[in-house]
Amino acid sequence: MKLTLVLYDPQGCIEAERINIIQKLPLLVVVIRTFNSFPPGMWGYTAVDVWTKDENETKVPYRRT
């Protein structure tokens, strides 16, 4: 079983080397723990509530489609 880590930034995509998660289990644990320490903004979440109106003129959370 292989895992590929892909990071995106404004300049494009950075793809890391594929690893076998069974053989490199300690590395996988470190990666997961590191990602868990990222603040929500690094995951693409924002603390700002953005609202729009739907077809019934009801205030609803904005969702990009």
- pLDDT single digits (tens) 5-38: 777 777 777 887 888 988 989 988 988 898 888 8
Q: What is the pLDDT of residue 26?
A: 92
> Considering the entire predicted model, what is its pTM?
0.47
Contact 51, 59 (CB under 8 A): yes
Domain of residue 47: give its range: 2-61
Domain count, the chain: 1
Q: What's the 3-state SS for the chain?
A: CEECCEEEECCEEEECCCEECCCCHHHHHHHHHHHHCCCHHHHCCCCCCCEEECCCCCEEECCCC
d(C-alpha 32, C-alpha 25), whole Å: 11
